[in-house]
Amino acid sequence: MVNVAILGFGVVGGGTARLITDNREEIERLTGDTVNIKYILDLRDFPDSPFADRIVHDFNIILEDPEVDTVIEVMGGSHPAYEFTVASLKKGKNVITSNKEVVANFGDEFLAAAAASGVSYRFEAAVGGGIPVISPIISSVRHNKITEVRGILNGTTNYILTKMFSLGESFEDSLCDAQERGYAERNPDADILGTDAARKIDILAALVTGKLVPTDKIHTEGITNIRKADVLAAERLGMKIKLLGRCIIEGEKVYVIVAPFMLPFDSALFGVSGVYNAV
């Protein structure tokens, strides 16, 4: 049996707990082992939750329990996610995360700590809406020379741009629709200003080059300046505008950028619509 602890019981943490529980038999069939949620860390109590008996408020309970094999960090933000991750890895616990901010800021340190302790640090869910892109990149780096990684890395902005192109809506109306549907936060800046995509392309670039670029050094443009006139101009050329993260490798130089690009119809990313990501 594998005992796990989930750090955070918000939307992602709650979904993770349900996913593990609802798919218990399938997980056992695929892995040959059972997964047991032993603890869920949160500041709040959830008396009506089926996981109420697993809720704890003190991280040290998890850290000092030798039966906890794996920590699933879905708290978001850099702190205390950083401190909890480092402590877990040094205690010999595997860590899985969907937290792109902490991966982009401290991923190289976490990987080194995991290697030193002989455990795993997995962060595939932090990039591309959980599409399985990290493992193929790691495999490709071993056997091939990668010269560029590009992708649609933010579902919110892709949804907004899709609405602007398919229905001719304004940026403001498309953003409001995304917020009403729950695709965009009430404060959507991390999405529409390109910050979220910058963190993700930084992680992918690090996998290819072995180095994390400080996110404040990445040229980052969002989609807030795209207007109907831009959409019409792109359509006249048979093109679409997509917010892309790109990492270009030329010899010893690495260029990382997030910005809106015009894509021709034969681009592999041209037809990626709605909230979908693609790399």
Q: Catalytic positions, please?
A: 200
Residue partners of 47: CB distance under 8 A and separation at least 6: none
Instruction: Of 174, 172, 179, give the one whose Cα is nearest residue 164.
Output: 174
| Contact call for residues 193 and 177 (beta carbons, < 8 A) | no
8-state DSSP, 271: T
Closest CA to 32 of 67, 2, 72: 2
Starting at the earlier edge strand, list the strands of the sheet with 253-264: 148-151, 239-250, 253-264, 219-220
Instruction: Confirm if 184 and 175 have CB atoms less than 8 A apart.
Output: yes
In whole angstroms, what is the distance from residue 162 CA to residue 240 CA?
Answer: 9
Alpha-carbon span 228 to 70, nearest angstrom: 48
- How many Å apart are CA 39 and CA 216, to the nearest integer? 36
The CA distance from 163 to 181, in Å, is 13
Q: Taking the CA atoms of the chain, what radius of gyration do you get in angstroms?
A: 20
